[in-house]
Chain A
Amino acid sequence: MSGAGVRAALRMGGALLLVVGLPAVLVTVWWFASAGSTSFYEPPLHRIVSTFGRVWTPERLRTDVLPSVLRLLGGYALAGAAGVGCGVLLGSYRTARAVAEPVLELFRAVPPPVLVPVIMLFAGIGDTMKVVVIAFGCFWPVLLNTVEGVRAVDQVADETARCYGVRGGRRLLRLVLPSAGPQIMAGLRQALSIGIILMVISEMFAASSGIGFTVVEFQRSFAIPEMWTGILVLGLLGVVLSLLFRLVEQRVLGWYHGLRGARREGGGGHA
Chain B
Amino acid sequence: MLEIRHLRKVYEGTGRSVEAIRDIDFTLAQGELVCLVGPSGCGKTTLLKCVAGLLRPSAGSVLLDGSPVTGPRPGLAIVFQEYGRSLYPWLRVGDNVELPLRHRKGLSRTERRTRAAEALATVGLAEAGRAYPWELSGGMQQRVAIARALAYRPEVLLMDEPFAAVDAQTRADLEDLVRRLWTERGMTVLFVTHDIDEAVYLGERVLVLSRSPTVVLEQIEVGLPVRRDQLTTRADPEFTRLRTRVLERIRGTVPDAAARDQ
**B-side contacts of A174, CB under 8 Å:** 88, 91, 99
B72 and A165 form a contact (CB under 8 A): yes
Q: Residue-by-residue, is A251-271 near B (CB-CB < 8 Å gives 1, otherwise 0)?
A: 000011011001100011111
Q: Which of A163, A170, A178 contacts B77 (CB 8 A)?
A: A163
B100 and A164 form a contact (CB under 8 A): yes
Minimum distance in angstroms from B221 CB to a CB of chain A = 30
Minimum distance in angstroms from B34 CB to a CB of chain A = 19
Q: Which of B88, B132, B135, B140 neighbours the largest number of chain A CB atoms within 10 Å of its CB?
A: B88
A269 and B86 form a contact (CB under 8 A): no
Q: Which of A155, A162, A258 contacts B135 (CB 8 A)?
A: A258
Q: Is B89 among interface residues, defined by CB-CB distance under 8 A?
A: yes
A256 to B140, CA, bound (A): 20
Q: What residue in chain B is nearest A255 (Cβ atoms)?
A: B90
Q: Residue-by-residue, is B71-99 near A (CB-CB < 8 Å gives 1, otherwise 0)?
A: 01010111010100110111100000001
Minimum distance in angstroms from B13 CB to a CB of chain A = 15
A160 and B89 form a contact (CB under 8 A): no
**B-side contacts of A19, CB under 8 Å:** none
Contact A156 B80, CB 8 Å, known A269-B137, A271-B139: yes
Minimum distance in angstroms from A26 CB to a CB of chain B = 38
Q: What residue in chain A is nearest B136 (Cβ atoms)?
A: A269
Tell me the total A-B contact number using a CB cutoff of 8 A: 78
- Total interface residues on B, CB under 8 Å, equals 31
Q: Is B138 among interface residues, defined by CB-CB distance under 8 A?
A: yes
B132 and A164 form a contact (CB under 8 A): no
Q: Is B152 among interface residues, defined by CB-CB distance under 8 A?
A: yes
**B-side contacts of A154, CB under 8 Å:** 85
A163 to B99, CA, bound (A): 12
Main secondary structure, interface of A, reads: helix
Q: Which of B49, B52, B77, B89 contacts A259 (CB 8 A)?
A: B89
B137 and A160 form a contact (CB under 8 A): no
B88 and A163 form a contact (CB under 8 A): no
A166 to B91, CA, bound (A): 14
Q: Which of A156, A162, A163, A269 neighbours the largest number of chain B CB atoms within 10 Å of its CB?
A: A163
**A-side contacts of B86, CB under 8 Å:** 156-157, 159-160
Minimum distance in angstroms from B210 CB to a CB of chain A = 26
Q: What residue in chain B is nearest A162 (Cβ atoms)?
A: B72
**A-side contacts of B52, CB under 8 Å:** 163
From residue 163 to 182 of chain A, which have CB atoms closer than 8 A to chain B? 163-166, 170, 174-175, 178-179, 181
Q: Which of B100, B135, B148 contacts A165 (CB 8 A)?
A: B100
Minimum distance in angstroms from A176 CB to a CB of chain B = 11
A157 and B85 form a contact (CB under 8 A): yes
Q: Is B239 among interface residues, defined by CB-CB distance under 8 A?
A: no
Extra 10 A-B pairs, beta carbons < 8 Å, given A175-B88, A269-B136: A154-B85, A155-B85, A159-B54, A163-B76, A166-B99, A166-B100, A178-B91, A255-B89, A255-B132, A259-B134
Chain B contacts to A: CB under 8 angstroms: 49, 52, 54, 72, 74, 76-78, 80, 82, 85-86, 88-91, 99-100, 102-103, 132, 134-141, 148, 152
Chain A contacts to B: CB under 8 angstroms: 154-157, 159-160, 162-166, 170, 174-175, 178-179, 181, 255-256, 258-259, 262-263, 267-271
